[in-house]
Amino acid sequence: MIKPFKDRWIDTDRPVEVYRNLNNREFSFSIRQDGLVVGHTNGVCLRDVEFVVRKAGQRRVIETGRKNVHAFARGHLTESCMGTDHTKNDLPVQVKYDPYLGIGFHHTHCGRIVELKGALSCIITKSEGMRAAYTHKL
């Protein structure tokens, strides 16, 4: 469930950016649209996802040791996420990001970088972090 922030509304026809909330001691995610935080949640499903890492922000984290929002998932909110991973399996794969590794978002089981753009769905939950299910286009 998404908890609105400052009475702001989410335009579900336009993409949002989802990232880990750095100001909350609890593990939750912030939802941003047009540069403004519009809500918080413990879990969300996105479609047509692109994983974004801003290199300048990543560099600042490495140089200063202080966290900042420089990596996020951008996509459209959706009710459910179905698809297949790179081996055509239906199960989502675990995806993570660590600014100190310098490789962007990657699969936790094999370390392979997630390079697809707009061709996957993403489930973001408190208990499991980010899980992505590829939707391969023929």
Mean pLDDT score of the chain, rounded to an integer? 75
pTM of the model: 0.73
Quote the pLDDT of residue 25: 66
The domain spans of the chain are: 3-134
Quote the pLDDT of residue 127: 55
Structure tokens at 56: 């300048």
Quote the pLDDT of residue 33: 95
pLDDT by residue (tens digit) across 87-133?
A: 555 555 667 777 888 777 776 766 677 765 555 566 665 555 555 55
Q: Which of 126, 80, 22, 20 is nearest to 31 (CA)?
A: 20
Judging by beta carbons within 10 Å of its beta carbon (0-12, 13-18, 19+), is residue 75 exposed, middle or buried? buried
Structure tokens at 13: 């026809």
